[in-house]
Amino acid sequence: MKIVVAITGASGVAISKKLLKFLNSRGIETYLIISEAAKKVCRYEGIRVEELIGLSTKSFKADEIESEISSSSFQFDTLIVVPCSMKTLAAIAHGYSNNLITRVADNALRLGKKLILVPRETPLSYQAIENMRLLKLLGAIIIMPVIAYYTKPKTIEDVTNFIVGKILDSLGMEHDLYNRWTPALEEE
């Protein structure tokens, strides 16, 4: 399995890091694209870009449009954009392939590959909702990074694990990052 992971300039790089760690631990081939804005977010969120690069099979800058993964002949299974900025979401929705991230997303949509987007914004604007609607019509999987209270998270890592678990669920991969829903209620 070959997975392209793209990190854009939105908060939530910890989700990307946890996802890359998991995929790396399973021997999954990963191709990482990091935008310049994402590098700034990494600094704000205390995550070293070098650590993310070290968790991937190969890494690229978003302006490396000449790279092998830019071509529709590059064989990959899934593109995951996590976190996905509203700028990147809009570009993908409207076929604006101005960098490596949006080019690979365009290839994923054109070739019927799996495209998973994890948009990080709240509250949502009308334009963002319309762009997500359009992407859903195009076949993208949109995973909003929201808290599940039934898992009774105690730490930010618990919340991150739930979101990464939902991404892995979309890939059909087994994991134990969160407790799945069970209808049994505890007595109060």
Q: What is the pLDDT of residues 107-119, one digit of tens each?
A: 999 999 999 999 9
Q: Is residue 21 part of a domain?
A: yes
Q: Is residue 22 part of a domain?
A: yes
Q: Which residue type is seen at 46? A: G
Q: Is residue 187 part of a domain?
A: no
Which residues are CB-contacts of 26 (< 8 A; sequence separation ≥ 6)? 173
Number of H helices, E strands in the chain: 7, 6
How far is Cα 71 from Cα 74, in angstroms, rounded to an integer?
6
CATH of the domain at 14: 3.40.50.1950
Sign, Cα dihedral of 134, 141, 121, 9: negative
119 CB neighbour count, 10 Å cutoff: 25
Q: Is residue 106 part of a domain?
A: yes
In this prediction the pTM is 0.95
| Number of structural domains found in the chain | 1
Q: What is the pLDDT of residues 118-147, one digit of tens each?
A: 999 999 999 999 999 999 999 999 999 999
Q: Is residue 180 part of a domain?
A: no
Q: Is residue 155 part of a domain?
A: yes
Q: Is residue 184 part of a domain?
A: no
Q: Is residue 77 part of a domain?
A: yes
Domain of residue 104: give its range.
Answer: 2-171
How far is Cα 36 from Cα 33, in angstroms, rounded to an integer?
10
pLDDT digit of tens for each residue in the chain (188 aa)? Answer: 999 999 999 999 999 999 999 999 999 999 999 999 999 999 999 999 999 999 999 999 999 999 999 999 999 999 999 999 999 999 999 999 999 999 999 999 999 999 999 999 999 999 999 999 999 999 999 999 999 998 999 999 999 999 999 999 999 999 999 988 888 766 55
